[in-house]
Structure 1
Amino acid sequence: MGDPRGFLKYKREGPQRRPVELRVRDWKEFYEPFSDEKLKVQGARCMDCGVPFCQSPSGCPVVNLIPEWNDLVHRGRWKDALKALHATNNFPEFTGRLCPAPCESACVLGINSDPVS
């Protein structure tokens, strides 16, 4: 993993919602996009647990390789992260927007802290 102590150093950050005044006038994304740097920090929070329940069928129904792409994102290896994502998910553009994120409730870090997002 990129930063074995990242989950201790960095707090979970969620995306910021766009102002309502703007959202009612267009069909753009509901949330503001994360900067690359913020994505890398959030990827560093993945704690390299022994058994990554987040990527098991009880965590991710499509069995995405979540710890692997968190590490690749943390390292800024965007193309490799996309390849890892496409290995298990043909349509991440759709599923990423609709997913209720059961991986977060399966995250080992979530036992006594905010799970990796």
Structure 2
Amino acid sequence: MNTIVSASILGADICHLGEALDKLRTWQIDMVHFDVMDGVFVPNISFGIPMLSAVRRHTKLFLDVHLMITDPLRYVSAFAKAGADRITFHLESSSDPRATLEAIRQTGRQAGIAIKPGT
């Protein structure tokens, strides 16, 4: 069984994000996990499309984007264009799951569905 190591940038020091991304490559990290929170679907607010675009310009590592947002379907294309390699959204979001999966597939990105523990 292969082990895949994914590092979340949620806890990174944003002032030194480029340096942190460079270290991930030397540490043989397989992918960067990018949590997107809108302050509505979940109470926290995190990164958005401009940050993802900046990260993509800095690294060739696989970018695993986890959308914890109310209406992921609305943003699929923008996150794909910004550099996501995989886009995961929550089943509990307001977007139609089939339509959201299809939209992700149409961008050529990998698709994933996350499910809250209560579900």
Give your verdict on TM over 0.5.
Answer: no
* Structure with more contact order per residue of length (Cα contacts < 8 Å, sep ≥ 6): 1
TM-score by length of structure 1 reads 0.25
TM-score by length of structure 2 reads 0.25
Is the strand fraction higher in 1 or 2?
2
Is the helix fraction higher in 1 or 2?
1
